[in-house]
Amino acid sequence: MMPFSRPRPAVWLGLFIRAAMLVAAALVLSVRPVLAQSILRDAETEALFREMMAPLETAAGLKPGQVRVHLIGDRSINAFVAGSQDIYIHSGLIEAAGTANEVQGVLAHELGHIQGGHVIRTADGIKSATGISLLSLILGAAAIAAGAGDAGMGIMMAGQQAALGKFLAFSRVQEATADAAGAQYLSKAGITGRGSLDFFKRLQNLEFRYAVKQDDDQAYSRTHPLSGDRIQALREAYIVDPAWDKPSNPALEARFIRVKAKLVGYIAEPERTLRVYPETDRSIAAHYARAYAWHRSAYPDRALAETTALLARDPADPYFLELQGQILLESGRARDAIVPLRKAVEASQSQPLIAALLGHALIATEDASLMAEAEYVLRTAVAIDNENPFAWYQLGVVYAQKGDQARASLATAERYHLQGRAAPLALQNAEMALAALPEGSPDWIRAQDIALVSRDEVEQKRKRR
């Protein structure tokens, strides 16, 4: 058996510097959401989010549409704020919520984070916690250098624990503040807080199911206050509010049921969707969910039968028409998809996501006579919503087919600029566009902007390496 060799002081120091760096990184990661997950974009869902947010934004002193809500394809139950005015909701939260009113309660809470400047102020919490961490590192290193390795290790470990505890306490205060602000926004908007309480009860039930401790000792190791404490505090605020007994908007609730069914059909296993929404269910929501389930199972005829049932209810509904066009297009029937998609674009007043889908169908026919229409609808789409990589990709295809390589490169640069971690490709295509576009033209200036931003990102990445 080899004898155990105690590491030299220099080795101890190296090990614990790495440990301290890992803890510091953990502090940053705990407050920096992972945005590399897929963003799910759907015209109907985004319209619903805007309608949900509008009265809350007004109550918070903002203009409707000032805060953007994004849906992330993640089946965990979560929502968070990133940037100054962006809310991200996991698809799992929509699945778990029973009503639109519950989701509005979550949105009100996240709006509380935005108005409280919590994303920016989180840096203060990290700075304070890091100060403790660095102090313990210095003291521990001094002890190690003096030959007291075990004592130095203890100082460092205690310091990291104290730093993490301080940050968690900071996070819990922010959450409690956002709860209170969210309750105020719901009240000012005349929206009942019943949904907010119902959602917290759902979370509490999940904690009970997974045996999450609810005692005070456990509270100090959490980023959020205990669900029971939050429910009690919010209930006291909600039950005295004039809107407590006000029913939720029935039209909003009906649209939420549709959107939730569509989402379940899109992300859940088809077998599960068909169990939740059996053939005996003839509701709009069930037709929606089954259309996606059959489409994902490669039964286009059965999927189209569901869209036919939907259009029988409302032949002019742009989202029913969009779904029918999508299924036809993705089943290899691009030409057949054009008619319902044209109607959908018209009925939705050129909604950009639907217009991009029409552009895709026109291109997929490989009919040169349809390329002018494809260019028009795609240019309209990116003019209204310039943050759609799919639309930019399709527009690049149109330009390439026309032989306009300069604008094809610019469209490709736009696409890569919007896609995270693609700065080198954005830079490459922007520089190609700059070399071919008339200097000083609007397109040339846009290519220059993308090149500058992308070059800076590439440089920053190189320095980090």
Measured in residues, the chain has a length of 465
Interval 353-363 mean pLDDT: 98
More confident residue, 442 or 166: 442
One-letter amino acid identity for 207? E
For the full predicted model, state whether its pTM sits above 0.85. Answer: no
The pLDDT assigned to 211 comes to: 61
Report the C-alpha dihedral over residues 428, 431, 436, 441, rounded to 10 degrees: 130
Return the residue matching tokens 């105020």.
184
- DSSP assignment of 342-392: HHHHHHTTS-HHHHHHHHHHHHHTT-GGGHHHHHHHHHHHHHH-TT-HHHH
Tell me the pLDDT tens digit for each residue of 294-307: 999 999 999 999 99
Q: What is the mean pLDDT of the chain?
A: 84
Tell me the pLDDT tens digit for each residue of 134-145: 444 454 455 455
CA 178, 180, 186, 189 torsion-angle sign: negative
Task: Give all domains of the chain, ordered by start, each with its CATH number.
Answer: 39-238 (3.30.2010.10), 404-465 (no CATH)
pLDDT > 50? residue 82:
yes
d(CA 378, CA 376): 6
Confidence of residue 16 (pLDDT cuts 50, 70, 90): very low
Helix and strand totals (H; E) in the chain: 21, 4
d(CA 24, CA 130): 7
d(CA 95, CA 77): 8
Enter the DSSP assignment of 79.
E
Confidence of residue 173 (pLDDT cuts 50, 70, 90): low
Return the residue matching tokens 């939260």.
93
